[in-house]
């Protein structure tokens, strides 16, 4: 241990078994990140044809492009720990998106909102799930001392925060039109 300026640096050495266990656990979490991001991308993709408003449609096209990029970047997380993404989790993400779409219909029916807005509301919820998933991945990178992972996940999380704020503004702005005026978006 070296002490400098009242701070102590502690170095730990892990045996291969412990390190492998940590990587196995990180991989399990990254499977969740993969599923959540694939679900988010699919939800945005499925909502696009339901939106008639050109400015909202343009925003969702941009969001879809970012979602595709983030989904590709999830594969980088696996690469950083010497593992491979799961095809099954990508399919599970599609199932997650379909479940959210069904739930959007239930909310719309029970609350009187029309299609389009209810889908945007589900994208908003899925966005928050993505922020949390990548946030945990960021903490895993910190705990494992993998600065490349930390930098990537911090960038993605920050980008997702900006997306989430814009989505929230959009959902709130369009809620009245959907609920009171039954206007398609």
**In terms of pLDDT, which residue wins out, 46 or 12?**
46
CB burial of 143-181 (b: ≥16 within 10 Å; e: otherwise) equals: ebebeebbebbbebbeebeebbeebeebbeebeebbeee
Q: Whole-number mean pLDDT of the chain?
A: 89
The pLDDT score that the predictor gives to residue 8 is 64
Structure confidence at residue 179 (pLDDT): 80
pTM, full prediction: 0.87
Domain 29-179 in CATH: superfamily?
A: Ferritin, core subunit, four-helix bundle (1.20.1260.10)
Percent with pLDDT over 70 in the chain: 93
For the chain, domain boundaries: 29-179
Q: Which stretch of 44-48, 118-122, 181-185 has the lowest confidence by average pLDDT?
A: 181-185
Regarding predicted confidence, which is higher, 32 or 96?
Answer: 32
Q: Is the pLDDT of residue 162 over 90?
A: yes
Q: What is the pLDDT of residues 50-94, one digit of tens each?
A: 999 999 999 999 999 999 999 999 999 999 999 999 888 878 888
Q: Check residue 135 and give its pLDDT.
A: 98
Write down the pLDDT at residue 56. 95
- Residue 2 confidence (pLDDT): 52
Q: Which residue has the higher pLDDT, 42 or 97?
A: 42
Question: What average pLDDT does this structure show over 14-25?
Answer: 92
**Dihedral of CA 54/119/136/93: which sign?**
negative
């Amino acid at each position: 241990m070296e002490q400098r300026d009242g701070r102590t640096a502690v170095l730990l050495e892990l045996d291969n078994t412990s390190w492998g266990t940590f990587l196995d656990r990180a991989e399990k979490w990254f499977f969740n990140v993969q599923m959540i991001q694939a679900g988010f991308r699919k939800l945005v993709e499925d909502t696009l044809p339901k939106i008639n408003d050109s400015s909202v449609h343009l925003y969702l096209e941009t969001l879809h492009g970012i979602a595709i990029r983030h989904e590709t970047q999830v594969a980088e997380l696996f690469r950083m720990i010497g593992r491979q993404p799961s095809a099954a989790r990508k399919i599970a993400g599609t199932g997650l998106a379909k479940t959210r779409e069904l739930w959007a219909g239930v909310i719309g029916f029970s609350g009187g909102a029309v299609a389009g807005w209810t889908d945007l509301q589900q994208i908003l919820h899925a966005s928050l799930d993505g922020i949390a998933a990548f946030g945990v991945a960021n903490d895993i990178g910190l705990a494992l001392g993998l600065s490349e992972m930390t930098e990537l996940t911090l960038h993605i999380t920050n980008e997702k925060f900006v997306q989430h704020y814009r989505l929230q503004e959009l959902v709130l702005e369009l809620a009245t039109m959907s609920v009171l005026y039954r206007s398609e978006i």
